[in-house]
Amino acid sequence: MPEFYYDKAIFRPDFSLEQVQRPRKSLTLPSVLSIQEIDRLLRASENLKHLTILYTLYGSGLRLAELLALRLTDVHWERHQLLVREGKGRKDRVVMLSQQLKAMLQQYFEAYQPKGWLFNGQDGENPYSPRSVQAVVRACARRAGIHRKVTPHTLRHCFATHLLERGTDVRYILELLGYKDIKTTLLYTHVSDQHLRSIVSPLDDLLGGEKRK
């Protein structure tokens, strides 16, 4: 194959790199848990700090690095927002601080009294390590009886997909996730089959059938 390109292509006077076709990128759909599985995952946590981490990942759709970079000053209680400083692309953004997450954080603050970082490591000076969070998620998934691979990023995918299934405008999801390209967010439309199930077949329209539920 390399000889072909050298002999038949590169040394042709009319050859241009634009003529070389690039392989298409395969579409890899993110793994997403159901609402019921998320409920089991949260209930499987045996530690308040671990549960608060799970709440924050799923409740705000953060990347793992963004979660660990949160400082106490990034929690805006009155506005119900978390400030993500220099997320992917080195741009700040705000994400939602839901009522349930706010209540959980208040319990966590009272019990652990974190300093500096929102989620301190064991030394109290540095943030929790990525491996520790990954281990927490895996352990909770195992105890919840979820046999698929579950990572912190899985909870981010769940956040986006479940918002989409509830009818949230994809442009708002784009903003919350910190994506620049709407094509990336539209990937979640391939994961959620709820929209497909809500479409009425033209045959049903013709014969007076009801929308599938």
For every residue of 100-161, DSSP letters joined together read HHHHHHHHHHHHH---SBSSB-TTSSSBPPHHHHHHHHHHHHHHTT--S---HHHHHHHHHH
pTM for the structure as a whole: 0.75
Q: What is the pLDDT of residues 11-27, one digit of tens each?
A: 455 545 455 555 555 54
Spatial separation of the C-alpha atoms in residues 177 and 56, rounded to whole Å: 13
Per-residue pLDDT at 137: 98
Q: What is the pLDDT of residues 148-201, one digit of tens each?
A: 999 999 999 999 888 888 888 888 888 888 877 666 656 665 555 555 555 555
